[in-house]
Amino acid sequence: MIEVENIQQAVTHLRASLIKADSLFDEYAITGSEWDNPGWSIEKCFLQLLTIVESLGLTELHKMVVTEYENAKETEGGFLVNTGTPDGEPFSATLSRLRQFLSTIEQFYPSDEHTTITRDLLQIIRDIHYTITDKALFENVPQSERDVHIRIEGILKCVFPDLKHKPTLNKPIKNFEPDTAIPSIETLIEYKFLSRSDDVATIADQVLADTRGYTSKDWKRFIYVIYETNRFRREKEWVQLLRQSGVLENTTVVVLSGESPVRG
């Protein structure tokens, strides 16, 4: 009998492979460089998926994956076909189908409870910008990093009552004082306020400097919330920066597109 833990681990590895393949595909669509060619990574995802499905004895799903795999290989352009989106963003129908297959399996073999909760947290944060910029609730849109911090934290506190403001952390987390801690899901959150394109590099340096201090058995996940007053960088670009800098997948970025602050 196949151990549930083994399937969960395989699903987790496949999810990580898909994230990497997705990042490489976006990079390849921009640069066209063979160094960024995602073909090998995408095919690896198929092979991982086929192994999981075959191990589970899911005959019909296995046939569907095989068909998708063969079609992708036989199509002109193979795994590299970029159909694009209406707003010009890179899009791979093949990767989309792989995510659908993975999502189907995850319904029966979720990786762990904390991962599910963290996904919910990310969605809450993404939806929060409608509230923190609502002039019926606040006199002005956020004027500073502190405004973003206090407003988001006030909402999250309703969902996570154990939330801590500017927590004092014990070593071995070094050179990092997080803005928000949620012990129940072992998650730390840091906020950044980006109002000028000239500050993108500075914020990037700050984020990478903080990630180098992440070493703790008590905190498993780290989230950077970047509030930008204009569209400076896509969320995917920030995540790519983390991965290309060797930052683990337990650290991610959420970008909130807000409004420019009102100056008196």
Helical packing angle, 235-244 and 4-31, nearest 10°: 110
* Whether the bond into 172 is cis, omega within 30 of 0: yes
Strand 164-165 to 221-228 pairing: unpaired
CA 167 centroid distance within chain: 24
- Tokens 């597109």 belong to 257
Residues with pLDDT less than 50, the chain:
1, 113-114, 264
Residue 90 is predicted with a pLDDT of: 77
* The two three-digit tokens of residue 62, written as one number: 């296995």
Contact between 219 and 173 under an 8 Å Cβ cutoff? The reply is: yes
- Residue 263 DSSP one-character state: P
Contact between 78 and 72 under an 8 Å Cβ cutoff? The reply is: yes
Residue 85 is predicted with a pLDDT of: 64
DSSP conformation letters of 63-113: HHHHHHHHHHHHSTTGGG-----TTS----HHHHHHHHHHHHHHTTS-S-H
Model pTM?
0.57
In the chain, at which residue ranges do the beta strands (DSSP E only) sit?
164-165, 180-182, 187-194, 221-228, 251-257
Counting Cβ atoms within 10 Å, is residue 3 exposed (0-12), middle (13-18) or buried (19+)? exposed
Exposed e or buried b for every residue in 179-212, given b needs 16+ CB within 10 A?
bbbbeebbbbbbbbbbbeeeebeebbeebeebbe
> Which residues are paired to 251 by β-bridges?
222
Residue ranges of domains in the chain, CATH in brackets:
4-106 (1.20.120), 113-257 (3.40.1350)
Which value, to the nearest 10 degrees, does the dihedral of the CA atoms of residues 147, 151, 153, 156 take? -160
* The two three-digit tokens of residue 182, written as one number: 């949620």
Residue 145 is predicted with a pLDDT of: 95
Torsion sign over Cα 144, 147, 149, 155: negative
Rounded Cα distance, 102 and 6, in Å: 15
What count of other Cβ atoms lies within 10 Å of the Cβ of residue 214? 19
Residue 122 is predicted with a pLDDT of: 85
Residue 112 is predicted with a pLDDT of: 53
pLDDT single digits (tens) 216-232:
667 888 999 999 998 88
